[in-house]
Amino acid sequence: MISRNRFGIVYLLGLAFLACSFVIRTVLFVKAGPGIDPTPLLVLKVFGTGLFYDVVTFSYLAAPLSLYLTVVPDRLFNTRWHRAVLQFALFAALFVLLFDAVAEYFFFDEFGTRFNFIAIDYLVY
């Protein structure tokens, strides 16, 4: 599953992160439809700003993995158990990503907004 390309997992996670973010943004935009006037400028602003924030967020999240993949020796990188660990990490990251998307949908349904400080208060109390 993990290719011989060292950074294939980072590219795959980036693509999955951006796709999932785009889908949840689109679903929430449509769900909020009756309360907004979807002008072309608003749509461009929502999706353009969202893409910018998604790229920045993924950059912060991918930096430690990219640094690790840069410094790990080829001898270790090509072992079977290392690939298994990377596959498990990929599965865990995709699971968290999808779980977050579903949780954000239900949070939006309940509170009418995307995740914010209310989510933290809700989890703490």
Residues 85, 83: Cα–Cα separation, whole Å: 5
Which sign, positive or negative, has the C-alpha torsion 23, 95, 2, 14? positive
Long-range Cβ contact pairs of 4-8 (< 8 A, separation 24 or more): 4/78, 6/69, 6/70, 6/77, 7/66, 7/69
As a whole number, mean pLDDT of residues 11-39 equals: 90
As a whole number, mean pLDDT of residues 100-109 equals: 90
Q: Is 96 helix (H, G, I), strand (E, B) or coil?
A: helix
pTM of the complete model: 0.85
